[in-house]
Amino acid sequence: MRATPKRFQMVVLIALVMAHAGPFAGAAAELPPASILRVPVSRIRHSDPEPMTFDLREGIDPDQAAVIAVFLNPALRATRDRRGLATAQLIAAGVLPNPQVSYTREWVTGGNTVDTVPTAYSFSAGWEVTSLLPLLPKHSAASANARSVDLDIAWEEWQVAENARLAVYRVIAVEAQLASAREGDRALAQNVTTLKKAVAAHEKTVLDLAAAEATSQDARANTLALEQEFDKQRLFLKKALGLLPDAKVRIRSDVRLPSRLDVPSEEEFSSGIETRRLDLLALQQGYQSQEATVRAAILTAFPKISLGVTKASDTSDVHTTGLSITVDVPLFDRNQGVIATERSTRQKLLDEYNNRIFEARSDIAVALADIRSLNRQIAAAEAAVPALERLVATAQTAAEQRNVDVLAYYDARNDLIQKRVQIFKLKQQLVEARAAVEIASGRFLQTKTTR
């Protein structure tokens, strides 16, 4: 496994123009004027890394939502705490064991004390010299682990940013569906009112009124369901941004859902994925860390050797100075359990890395197939709208002239409403597929978007 160490730090200046008082303004006020992100801005938006200005009176777009989420989302706080732990482990890897010092003093308390001195003492100092052997691989392991943690944090930051961007598009999609459903609901409700007057004047039948009421009730139920979904998606957006539920968030009016995405080939997306996806880079560093940990475990199996000096004086007033060597005899414990554990962990990391690459390529293929299919479905659905509109107009004229069953008119009207709602649902799925291929490939999808 070949690792490509990179630094994923980018300074992003955020200037917030407060448009609302309350939770959003309070949360935004906690933002520092400049902060360090582990995820590059190029993975959040394709433009050059320059200061981004947020005017909340005009609303936010998906890219701005992505950056806000990386700064404010509380789910990232625990993730970033891992950086402090990795730093502490790096410090600990360079710490050597302390030397051992002992001192004893004895007093004569009885017996034959002729020609003796009243006290005796001994002093010794020793240090385990073999602790130097695994020092370098331990430090290398901790350094690689720190880089792995940084990349893991960047990977999670990018996923949070993608989730926030996608949450904006979901709100837009559901809002568009709701607007179309409300328009149909109002029109059908007005038709019911008109038909009631016509029935009272004996110009329409009760059957006509019943058909109109049934269609209107279905449209109303669909509208209520979309209103619930719209409220839910707005709450999801606030959660993705790291804001309280009662915060005020406005989306820019010029943000539109794409009708088509022209994407590169699967080979282009899959090529070089090992050097783009932050989680794969993190696993590469993790594998290097574990490789160094295995070397350190093997070196730790070397018998422990401690060197020391001693100085002593007995009660006969004889002074001695000497050296001491202490060696652990590796008769039973040769660190074989630790070595086997570390080797198994290394193999697990390698298998996980290979599996992650396999899953990434499969996810890319699925997402690209979805995008191409959704492009065709949206084009077909949009092409069907003019025909349905003409059908509704024709059916309405025929129903008014009693040349066709009134049920046919309401069925055509309901089909038109459902087709418009379906188009926005398909566009939402297209945006979700784009997010899926971006995450799977580890690159920002700079495509030509048709709106």
pLDDT tens sequence across 128-138: 888 888 889 99
**CA separation, residue 352 to residues 142, 163, 192, 216, 356 (Å):** 20, 24, 62, 54, 6
Report which of residues 12 and 427 the model is more confident about: 427
Residues 50, 343: Cα–Cα separation, whole Å: 45
Is the pLDDT reported for residue 222 higher than 60? yes
**pLDDT-derived band of residue 39, with 50, 70 and 90 as boundaries?**
very low
Summarize the confidence of residues 113-135 as an average pLDDT: 87
Residues 98, 119: Cα–Cα separation, whole Å: 30
Whether the Cβ atoms of residue 372 and residue 262 lie closer than 8 Å to each other: no
Summarize the confidence of residues 240-268 as an average pLDDT: 87
Q: Nearest to residue 45, comparing CAs of 354, 446, 315? A: 446
Please tell me the predicted confidence (pLDDT) of residue 380.
Answer: 94
* Domain coordinates in residue numbering, the chain: 10-98+147-302+335-450
Q: Nearest to residue 448, comparing CAs of 39, 46, 41, 43? A: 46
Q: What pTM was estimated for this model as a whole?
A: 0.76
Digit-coded pLDDT (tens) for 53-70:
666 667 888 888 888 888
Please compute, for residue 63, the number of CA atoms within 13 A of its CA located in the half-sphere on the CB side: 19
Residues 141, 139: Cα–Cα separation, whole Å: 5
Q: Nearest to residue 97, comparing CAs of 312, 336, 327, 307? A: 307
Q: Nearest to residue 238, comparing CAs of 72, 54, 413, 367? A: 72
**Fold classified for 10-98+147-302+335-450:** Outer membrane efflux proteins (OEP) (1.20.1600)
Please tell me the predicted confidence (pLDDT) of residue 97.
Answer: 87
Is the pLDDT reported for residue 47 higher than 80? no
Is the pLDDT reported for residue 31 higher than 50? no
State the amino acid at position 5 in one-letter form.
P
147, exposed or middle or buried, with CB in 10 Å at 0-12, 13-18, 19+?
Answer: buried
Whether the Cβ atoms of residue 187 and residue 413 lie closer than 8 Å to each other: yes
Digit-coded pLDDT (tens) for 297-343:
888 888 888 889 999 988 888 888 998 888 888 888 888 898 999 99
* Residue entry with tokens 């010299």: 129
